[in-house]
Amino acid sequence: MVRTYGFMSTYPPTQCGLATFTASLRHHLTAVRPGSGSRVVRVLTDAETAPAATSAVHPMRPGAAEDAAAVLNGCDVAVVQHEYGIYAGRDGAEVLSVLARLRVPVIVVLHTVLTAPTPGQRAVLEAVVDHADAVVTMSEAARKRLLAGYSVERPGDVVVIPHGAVPRSAPARRAGRPLILTWGLLGRGKGVEWGIAALDALRDLRPRYLVAGQTHPKVLAHEGEAYRNHLRDRATAHDVANLVEFDSAYLEDDVLAKLVGLADVVLLPYDSSEQVTSGVLVEALAARKPVVATEFPHAVELLADGAGLLVPHRSPGAIAAALRRVLTEPGLAAGMRDRSASLSPALSWPAVASRYRHLADHLVNARVGVTR
């Protein structure tokens, strides 16, 4: 049956992971069945100018919960992205004002599940979950953390649907200097300084370490390019500035595809041990690229079968050793690509969108059955 899907999230042209995720999910979910429709409640950041509403995209400023709910109630099902930082109110509590007004089935997608939330964060997330007809986490680690650490009245309503990615071909390794790639919106916590420090032990390989992506807009507004400048200073201090390159452009999909295709290995040296969802990790695996990542939960889950190597947080020595293995050990990178290839079908956007469609159909049909 043809459906109309409502989405609430940040949304392009906002440049952030949630916006990109929602745009991709919207595109592929409506493409599953020709004739499907969609409407978007675009949550605006403080710095953004509110554009005029269109028939499909409706900007939401703080205090506009009633209008947002009216848009979503005009759809068959609402898909709400949850991240503390995007909604107004203490700990993003305004999302609850929207959820309380919804009369259609609600799918909530959790992008963050904290191990040690503040009392306010815990209360908001538990209320969000209580309002939802179904809750989606993008990793089993997030689901387990939610059920173990929060009050969830209906555990059976929590399902795991992975972050989607565009399947990409994996070109043969190029001749010349090996390319190590870290990409994504830049900000403190990305751990790039540990990747830079690791280069000291890899001088004989003459790698290119490319750090690609613009500074996160919120970071840019708060501190400008201080972190990027700090990274340049670290490269100079370690005497590896000739091995490090920065590309500060926002990466459109076609540019990103080409860049990932050129990489010999993707490095995710993140500081956080909380990260239960990483779109960059999923994109790397979908492109069948060897990955070296710190032991954050999503990486531990997806790389357990050998699609990448895990290293301790903040350990340049361990990062260097892992990168050396990927770049020099016969058969290792090829084996990683083979394991990634086995994961790719389930991570593709069409497959992910199909699971959301089945979930939406189930919720709508169950609601109709109750009504009757």
Per-residue HEC secondary structure of the chain comes to CCCEEEEEECCCCCCCHHHHHHHHHHHHHHHHCCCCEEEEEEECCCCCCCCCCCCCEEEECCCCHHHHHHHHHCCCEEEEEECHHHCCCHHHCHHHHHHCCCCCCEEEEECCCCCCCCHHHHHHHHHHHHHCCEEEECCHHHHHHHHHHCCCCCHHHEEECCCCECCCCCCCCCCCCCEEEEECCECCCCCHHHHHHHHHHHHHHCCEEEEECCECHHHHHHHCCHHHHHHHHHHHHCCCHHHEEEECCCCCHHHHHHHHHHCCEEEECCCCCCCCCCHHHHHHHHCCCCEEEECCHHHHHHCCCCCEEEECCCCHHHHHHHHHHHHHCCCHHHHHHHHHHHHHHHHEHHHHHHHHHHHHHHHHHHHHHHHC
Same structural domain for residues 33 and 76? Answer: yes
Is residue 174 included in any domain, yes or no?
no
User: What CATH number does the domain containing 108 carry?
Assistant: 3.40.50.2000
Is residue 367 included in any domain, yes or no?
yes
| Number of domains present in the structure of the chain | 2
> What does the pLDDT read at residue 221?
85
Same structural domain for residues 332 and 195? Answer: yes
Is residue 361 included in any domain, yes or no?
yes
Same structural domain for residues 121 and 92? Answer: yes
Is residue 169 included in any domain, yes or no?
no
Above pLDDT 90, what percent of the chain?
A: 81
Same structural domain for residues 184 and 259? Answer: yes
> What does the pLDDT read at residue 372?
40
> What does the pLDDT read at residue 369?
66
Same structural domain for residues 317 and 289? Answer: yes
Containing domain of residue 205, as a range?
A: 179-347
Same structural domain for residues 337 and 229? Answer: yes
Same structural domain for residues 43 and 107? Answer: yes
> What does the pLDDT read at residue 21?
96
> What does the pLDDT read at residue 128?
98
Over the stretch 250-272, which tens digit does the pLDDT of each residue have? 877 788 888 898 999 999 999 99
Sites in the chain below the pLDDT cut of 50: 372
Is residue 231 included in any domain, yes or no?
yes
Is residue 170 included in any domain, yes or no?
no
Same structural domain for residues 254 and 363? Answer: no
> What does the pLDDT read at residue 172?
54
Same structural domain for residues 363 and 341? Answer: no
Over the stretch 275-307, which tens digit does the pLDDT of each residue have? 999 999 999 999 999 999 999 999 999 999 999
Is residue 172 included in any domain, yes or no?
no
Same structural domain for residues 308 and 204? Answer: yes
Is residue 226 included in any domain, yes or no?
yes
> What does the pLDDT read at residue 1?
80
> What does the pLDDT read at residue 46?
66
Same structural domain for residues 104 and 191? Answer: no
Same structural domain for residues 357 and 337? Answer: no
